[in-house]
Amino acid sequence: MDAVTFGKAGLTGWRARVADAVAGPVARRTPATDDQVRAAIGALFLLLSTMYVAKAVRDLATSR
């Protein structure tokens, strides 16, 4: 699995629409391609989701 495929795994629903809207303008201003920008945004959303779940699990474990 390459990095672009990994990053795109985080793009579903509204996150995909955000990435689609942002990818073109960012890709025109940077050396990154549209797919690379979408993958970076997807990886960011995936990381944030993972952090949110980890915090919830940690809070649940400490409350017991």
As given in the structure block, the two tokens for residue 43 are 């990886």
Alpha helices in 1-33 (DSSP H): 3-8, 14-29
Question: Cα torsion for 37, 38, 41, 44, to the nearest 10°?
Answer: -110
- In this predicted structure, the answer to whether residue 1 has a pLDDT above a threshold of 80 is no
Q: What are the tens digits of pLDDT across the range 13-64?
A: 899 999 999 999 999 999 999 999 999 999 999 899 999 999 999 999 998 7
pTM for the predicted model, two decimal places: 0.81
